[in-house]
């Protein structure tokens, strides 16, 4: 089979933080699939890679529901996985892009579960949002014997509390809509002074909050907001 599928991490937002490998592959694609947050909406991942695209590349924007209805989401994952496989069977060079890294909190993983690990698949890693935030905030993710946990704030209060107690460094992703609860937990554990909040890292509207106690509980945060904690820094 001459066709090939590439799962490509586009990095955290800035177009020049995509890897050289990913940029080279994107420039030779026949078809590119880009996820969008809502039907008919723009794709941030697509805006990141647009400058690397060939004029001849066909674009397919696909919407993945954010609802709690797993059956609804499964239908879309099944259809998209089948479409990607069909494109490859036609001998095409096909790309599927995701923000950050394709293997971390990514829709791509649900497609991977359906596609498997055929020889015609290549996964290209990308810069994660929290790696970019650590660099922008000059806050180490982990040092020497420190342990690092990456948590979604959709986890239970108990799970988040356990991670923050057990690890020296913790990445708290998906803070959007949950900031007040996370702030209260950090205060309760006495580690809020070791936390940094960054929203839309590397994008034009990037915001960095180094004193979380001064941030109002009802602060409106963008969807892409993450907190880094390093107890030794």
Tell me the CATH number at 107: 3.40.1010.10
pLDDT at position 40, please?
A: 56
Residues 64 and 154 in one domain: no
DSSP string, the chain: ---EEEEEE-BSS-GGGS-HHHHHHHTT-SEEEEEESSTT---HHHHHHGGG--TT-EEEEEE---SS-HHHHHHHHHHHHHHHHHHHHTT-EEEEEESB-TTSS-THHHHHHHH---TTEEEE----HHHHHHHHHT--S--TT--EEEEETTS-HHHHHHHHHH-SEEEEE--TT-HHHHHHHHHHTT-GGGEEEEESTTSTT-EEES-GGGS-TT----SSEEEEEETT-
Domains in the chain, number? 2
- Boundary-marking domain end, from 99, 124, 149: 124
Residues 106 and 136 in one domain: no
pLDDT at position 11, please?
A: 97
pLDDT means per 10 residues in the chain (233 residues)?
A: 93 97 98 80 87 97 75 89 97 97 94 97 97 96 94 97 98 96 98 98 96 96 96 91
> What pTM value is reported for the model?
0.92
- Boundary-marking domain end, from 102, 124, 146: 124
pLDDT per residue as tens digits for the range 140-178: 999 899 999 999 999 999 999 999 999 999 999 999 999
- Boundary-marking domain end, from 124, 158, 182: 124
Residues 133 and 165 in one domain: yes
Residues 43 and 11 in one domain: yes
Residues 38 and 101 in one domain: yes
pLDDT per residue as tens digits for the range 7-29: 999 999 999 999 999 999 999 99
Q: Domain of 32? A: 4-124
């Amino acid at each position: 089979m001459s066709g090939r599928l590439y799962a490509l991490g586009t990095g955290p937002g800035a177009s020049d933080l995509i890897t050289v490998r990913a940029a080279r592959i994107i420039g030779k694609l026949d078809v590119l699939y880009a996820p969008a947050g809502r039907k008919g909406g723009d794709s941030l991942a697509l805006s990141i890679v647009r400058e690397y695209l060939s004029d001849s590349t066909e674009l397919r924007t696909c919407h993945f529901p954010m609802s709690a209805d797993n059956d609804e989401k499964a239908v879309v994952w099944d259809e998209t996985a089948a479409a990607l496989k069909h494109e490859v069977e036609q001998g095409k060079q096909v790309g599927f892009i995701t923000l950050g890294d394709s293997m971390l909190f990514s829709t791509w993983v649900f497609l991977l579960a359906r596609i498997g690990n055929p020889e015609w698949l290549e996964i290209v890693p990308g810069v994660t949002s929290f790696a970019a935030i650590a660099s922008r905030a000059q806050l180490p993710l982990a040092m020497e014997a420190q342990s690092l946990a990456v948590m979604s704030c959709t986890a239970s209060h108990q799970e988040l509390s356990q991670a923050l107690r057990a690890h020296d460094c913790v990445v708290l992703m998906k803070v959007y809509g949950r900031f007040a609860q996370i702030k209260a937990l950090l205060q309760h554990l006495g580690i809020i002074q070791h936390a940094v909040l960054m929203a839309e890292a590397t994008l034009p509207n990037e915001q960095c909050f180094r004193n979380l106690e001064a941030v109002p509980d009802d602060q409106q945060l963008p969807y892409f907001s993450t907190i880094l904690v390093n107890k030794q820094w």
